[in-house]
A and B are shown apart, each in its own frame.
Chain A
C-alpha cells in the first residue's frame, strides 16, 4: 500500500516513515501543503496522513481541494490540536480519522489499517484467496496451513494482489501501489518480485494462484483466467 505522509517536522516525519516502511508500506513524504497537493494529484495513494499545520497550505485546505477534484483516498489527520471544533472541522473537510499528537506508531498503524479495511469488501484484517491467507496485523502468510516467509515488499505485493482479486492488475498499478515515488519503474522489478512470489506461493504440487494475463498484467485467483 502506498501512503502519502505530509509533515513539516523532519524528525516526526522520519519516525513515522520508518514505522510505516517497517510494516511494508511504500511511503512518499511531503514537507508542506503545496507539495502534498502536488503529490496527491500526480500519484495514486491508498491513504494520506496529513499534518494540519503545514507551510503554504494547511492540511484541511489540502483535503478540501483534493475532494473537490474527486480524489477520494482515505485521509487521517495528525495534529497537535485537540479541540472538538478542530476535529469537527477536519472531519467535515473530508478526513476519515483524526489522531492527536503525541501518538504511538502502533495506534497510527491500527487506525491506518482501519481506514484501509473500509475500502475492502472483506472488513477484516485476515484476507484470503483459496487456501492462501494473509494476516495484516501480524504480517504472517500461510497457505494450506503452512507458514510462508515473506519479505516486506513481497508481503505488500501479495496484499495488493489479494485485495484486487479476482480482478487482474497491470504492472503500472502494482508499481503505483507497492513502490514509492523514487523508484524508476522502467525496470523489471515487478516481474522479478512476481517470480520470487511464485517460488513461495505456487510451489510444485500446489495449485497455481498467481497467473499472468497477457496484455493486462497479473491476477491472483484459484482458476486460471
Chain B
C-alpha cells in the first residue's frame, strides 16, 4: 500500500484494536482471578452477628467470563470500523498541510518561483519544512534569474558582431568567394534567429511579454499560418493535409497562438518525414490543433537546441489555460495544442 494516508489509517486502526484486545484480556484475566480465588461475604444489617460466606462455582465463572468474551467479540467489528474511520480522519487532518504544500508546489513555474509557500495554521513540524522549501525556492529563483539574465546578455552582446559580419558578407565588391558568402549568410541568418528567439524566451520568462487576449477564430488564424508551410512541404515532395472545422472561436493571445503554430509546423517540417497532417477541431471544451508527422527514419539525428519547443513552452507559461500534449508511437509524432473553446463568440468577427 503506497499511500501514507492509507498506511496511517491502518496503523491507527491496528493500534486501537490492539489496545482494545489487551484491555479485554486484562479484564478477562482480572475477572477470572476475582471470581475464582476470592470468596465473597455478605452482611445482614438487622442481624449484625450474621455473615454469609460463599464463592462462585467453576461453571458460574466460565459463564461470566464467557459472556465477557462474547461481548468483546461482538463489539470488535463495529469497533474496528470506528477505529479505521477515526484513523482515516486523523490521517487526513494530519496530512492536510502536506497536500496544501504539494498543490502550491505544482503551480510553480519560472515566473512565480520567488512567491513563498504559505500555510495559514502551521505546526512546528511543518514550519521548519516550509521554511526550508521557501529558501530552496528563493535560491532556485535567483539562480534561474541569473542564468536567464546571462543568456539574455550573451544574446544581446552577440547582436553587434552578427550585424558587423552580415554587413561584411553583404558588402558589394565580391571579395568573398560567392559559394562561401552563401554559406556564411545562411549561417549568420541562423545565428541571428537563435539570438532573437533566445531573447524572446528570456523576455517571456521574466514576464516582460504581456498576453494580449482577444476573441478570434482559431481556424482562420491557422489557415493564414499554414500557407507557407503547404508550399514548403510541396517543395520537399511531402503531402500536407489540412483538416479544419470552420468555426473555432477561442479567447487567447493570437500572436502567441500564431507563434506556437509556426514553431510546431517548423519542427514537423524540419525534423519530420513523410506526410504532414494538421487538424483543427472542436473536442469537448477545447479547440484542438493537432500536428502529426513521421519521424525522420534515415540519416543521423542532429542534436538540436529544441529552440522551437522552448519558445512554445515560454509562451504557454504566459497562458496557463493552453495545454500542449506530445505523443510518440510507432515512429509517428503527434503534438496537440488545446485552447479553451468559446461557445458563444461575441459580436467581434474578423
Interface residues of A (CB under 8 A from B): 8, 10-11, 13-15, 18, 21, 29, 31-32, 34-35, 38, 42-43, 55, 151, 153, 170-173, 175, 179, 181-189, 191-193, 195-196, 214-217
Contact = CB atoms under 8 A, between A and B. Distances in A.
A187 B266 CA distance: 8
Given A15-B350, A34-B208, A21 B224 contact: yes
A91 B185 CA distance: 38
Given A153-B228, A196-B231, A215 B181 contact: yes
A103 B181 CA distance: 46
Interface residues of B, number: 51
A173 B253 CA distance: 28
B189 A185 contact: yes
Given A38-B203, A215-B182, A184 B263 contact: yes
Interface in B172-216: 172, 174, 176-182, 185-186, 188-190, 192-193, 196, 199, 203, 208-216
Contacts of A216: 170, 172, 178, 181
Contacts of A153: 227-228
A187 B350 contact: no
Interface of B: 159, 166, 170, 172, 174, 176-182, 185-186, 188-190, 192-193, 196, 199, 203, 208-216, 224-225, 227-228, 231-232, 235, 253-255, 258-259, 262-263, 266, 269-270, 308, 348, 350
Secondary structure at the B interface, as helix, strand, loop or mixed, is helix
A192 B232 contact: yes
A24 to B, nearest CB: 12
Given A175-B189, A182-B259, A11 B231 contact: no
**Of residues A179, A181, A182, which shows the largest number of chain B Cβ atoms within 10 Å of its Cβ?**
A182
Contact of A172 (B166, B180, B266, B348): B166
7 contacts: A31-B210, A172-B192, A187-B269, A214-B182, A215-B176, A215-B180, A216-B181
A186 B189 contact: yes
Contacts of B185: 170-172, 217
